[in-house]
Amino acid sequence: MTTRHKTVTVDGIDVFYREAGDPSRPSLLLLHGFPTASHMFRDLIPELADHFHLIAPDLPGFGLTEMKPREQFAYTFDHIADLIDRFSEVVGLTRFAVYIFDYGAPVGLRIAARHPDRITAIISQNGNTYLEGVSPAFAPVQAYWANPTDENRNALRGFLAPGTTLFQYTEGVTDVSKVSPDGRNLDDAYLARPGVDEIQLDLLLDYASNFAAYEVFQAYFRKHQPPLLAVWGRNDPFFTPAGAEAFRRDLPDADVCFFDTGHFALETHAAEIGVVIREFFDKQTLGVFRAARKETSDETAFDRPVCFSACLQSEV
């Protein structure tokens, strides 16, 4: 299945995105994290393109989406969510599932909480929504939130260095030879563009707003009970397994799967994650069939076995 690379203008900003799959199939919006872009899905898209209509945009300040000066675009998670919300409308997504990772999690969940009727399911790959699972690696960022001085801001510039990118891609990976250097080198090239450093430091400061929004996201879970699948790199140095397990507090039926890898789980386990996603959606479809069966007088209608096995605290 061919992936197409497109650009669409949304509220005066040219948004780059990748699209694959048949638009008549269920839609899945893929939202990347820091410091990457939609190219992080390059191995997952072929795994899912025969089953879904896939759309993966580059967020503002990342990848190939137009990078407006900070004076013209406020680089906050609220504002980015506003733009991606409008983007989803412009490209014709009316009902869709959302795949959220890292920075993509607070963006996607803001959209879900605003429009619960549009969201068919959530897939979270190391995208925290609870304080549980937030590791001590966030301590320097939290110091900046508490005291946003120039000194504390400059202390975070190391987060933008190639060594940190390499750490994010390889820490917790059992066989680093499986991690292609292409992704992280492209991320470093994007980070090296003039002005990106200040944009990223703005977002690190505004990340505090995501912690503040966790209660809103959790209330959305409790009220609307969206189907949720967590696919988690077990050895993530930033978001630990406790963050994945916490989903079941508000979503008792959530499926939680761990993989023996780090933060960028798709770099090593795209095929395995693709299998789990397809099985998860097969299970959701079967649930719809069974609900329909209860409403019909034909008790044998839609009678078929469940083929998906829960993988809570297991390794795929």
Q: Catalytic residues, which ones? A: 263
Q: Cβ(232)–Cβ(241) under 8 Å? A: yes
Q: Which residues pair with 18 in a beta bridge?
A: 5, 56
**3-class secondary structure, 257:** strand
- Collapsing DSSP to helix, strand or coil, 302 comes out as coil
What's the length of the chain?
316
CA distance 7 to 17: 6
CB of 228 closer than 8 Å to CB of 277: no
CA distances (Å), 299 to each of 70, 149, 283, 294, in order? Answer: 60, 67, 19, 7
Measure the CA–CA gap between 283 and 306, rounded to whole angstroms.
7
Phi, psi (rounded to 5 degrees) for 26: -55, 140
Instruction: In the chain, count H helices and then E strands.
Output: 12, 8
141: which 2 tokens?
A: 């960022």
